[in-house]
Amino acid sequence: MFSFANPHLLYLLFLLPVVAGLYIIARIARRRKLMRYGRIATLTPLMPDASRYKPGIKLVLQLIAIAALVIVLARPRAGAKEEVSEVQGIEVMICLDVSNSMLASSTDDPRGVSRLQRAKLVLEKLIDKLDNDKVGLIVFAGDAYTQLPITSDFVSAKMFLNSISTEMVPTQGTAIGAAIQMAMNSFTPDEDMQRAIIVITDGENFEDDPLAATQEAAKRGIQVDVIGLGSTKGALIPIGRNGQYLKDDSGNPVTTRLDETMARKIAEEGDGIYVSGAASTVVNDVDEQLKTLATSSLEKINYTASAEQFPVFAWIALAFLILDIFMLDRKVGWLKKINFFSK
């Protein structure tokens, strides 16, 4: 059986005819410009090194490379798989703060590990605990975006987790309410399913009302837990690699603090718990809280590592890109001396 982990990304293949169309338009425009100076048959001898066929060959190489890269992103799978139809679990949506304040130290030590890196470490261990559950991932700053739809594919979850950075959301800020609202709309429509939202943030909310969104989640029977990251004493936000820090409009360094009060209120309104991300028991505490929810029957598909086929297409893309790099638009010198067609 052949399938894709991210089949929606295959829509990117529609870019191929668009690229081919743009190439044809460019060649027609080139021909029209040449015709302004005279007949093509007369001008051709004046461009002895211009190849008639190699631009088209390069286009084909590029299109094959693009198609292979799209297939890599879609993660093709084939071969062995194990299907489990009666797994008991819950659905968990994780909302991860990726605002610039998450670059600050997660401890009182200004040189400590960043809040975002600490969040990734916590999430990686937490995902391992969600063995029979479904998980989804939302990143947010000034806006919220779905990074991973609800799924039982924990391999993909960890892959997406490693790629998260503060540059993923163009609008800066912290919209916890928007993230919770998006998480509520991301669960499956199964009414019997128990659901939970885990918000990982420093608690500094500047965009909306997270408590109103949390109250709505509680009305729907969705538990909201919060993991707070950062120091209550405050920390500067490093930017770049030159030891510089984020500054406000007045030129003063911006200090960001863990807002435990807001984080606790969100957890309280969501019938969940608040846990400090610096605690050594943070993963176990959240896991124990999730276990208070009743489980439901889930269908789970586990793929073996050998089922992943994307490395094959990655090598194909690399090979065709290398061919494209070394193939120039001009004619090959030694081929010009060969007469393929006798008179």
Give the mean pLDDT of 298-321: 74
- The span from the CA of 116 to the CA of 122, in Å, is 10
Q: What is the pLDDT of residue 319?
A: 92
pLDDT at 245 over 50: yes
Q: What is the pLDDT of residue 269?
A: 93
Q: Among the residues of the chain, which ranges form H helices?
A: 15-35, 40-43, 54-74, 115-129, 154-162, 176-184, 210-219, 260-269, 282-290, 310-326
3-state per-residue secondary structure call for 179-229 = HHHHHHCCCCCCCCCCEEEEEEECCCCCCCCHHHHHHHHHHCCEEEEEEEC
Sign of CA dihedral 265, 270, 272, 275: negative
Q: What is the pLDDT of residue 64?
A: 93
The torsion region of residue 43 among left (phi > 0), alpha (psi -120 to 50) and beta comes to: alpha
Beta bridge partners of 256: 235
| Gyration radius (Cα) of the chain, Å | 27
- The span from the CA of 267 to the CA of 153, in Å, is 27
pLDDT at 306 over 50: no
Q: Which contacts (CB < 8 Å, 24+ apart) does range 112-118 have?
A: 115/202, 115/229, 115/230, 115/277, 116/164, 116/165, 116/166, 118/229, 118/277, 118/278
Sign of CA dihedral 25, 31, 34, 35: negative
pTM value? 0.64
- Taking residue 1's Cβ as centre, other Cβ atoms within 10 Å add up to 8
Higher-scoring residue by pLDDT: 179, 335: 179
- Residues 64-113 have pLDDT tens digits of 999 999 998 887 877 555 555 566 788 999 999 998 888 888 888 878 88
Under 8 Å between Cβ of 150 and 193:
no
- Residues 182-222 have pLDDT tens digits of 999 999 887 778 899 999 998 776 677 889 999 999 999 99
What is the DSSP pairing of strand 91-97 with strand 134-140? parallel
- Residues 18-71 have pLDDT tens digits of 999 998 998 888 778 777 776 766 666 656 666 677 788 888 999 999 999 999
Higher-scoring residue by pLDDT: 14, 174: 14
- Write out the two tokens for 336: 């010009």
- The span from the CA of 40 to the CA of 35, in Å, is 6
φ, ψ for residue 66 (rounded to 5)?
Answer: -65, -45
CATH class of the domain defined by 81-300: alpha beta
The helix/strand/coil state of 126 is helix
The helix/strand/coil state of 103 is helix
Q: What is the pLDDT of residue 68?
A: 92
The candidate with the shortest Cα–Cα distance to 293, out of 132, 157, 91, 131, is 91
pLDDT at 274 over 80: yes
CA 97 to chain centre: 14
- Residues 110-169 have pLDDT tens digits of 788 889 999 999 999 998 888 778 899 999 988 888 888 888 877 778 878 878 888 888
- The span from the CA of 264 to the CA of 260, in Å, is 6
pLDDT at 338 over 70: no
Helix and strand totals (H; E) in the chain: 10, 14
Positions of CATH 3.40.50.410 in the chain? 81-300
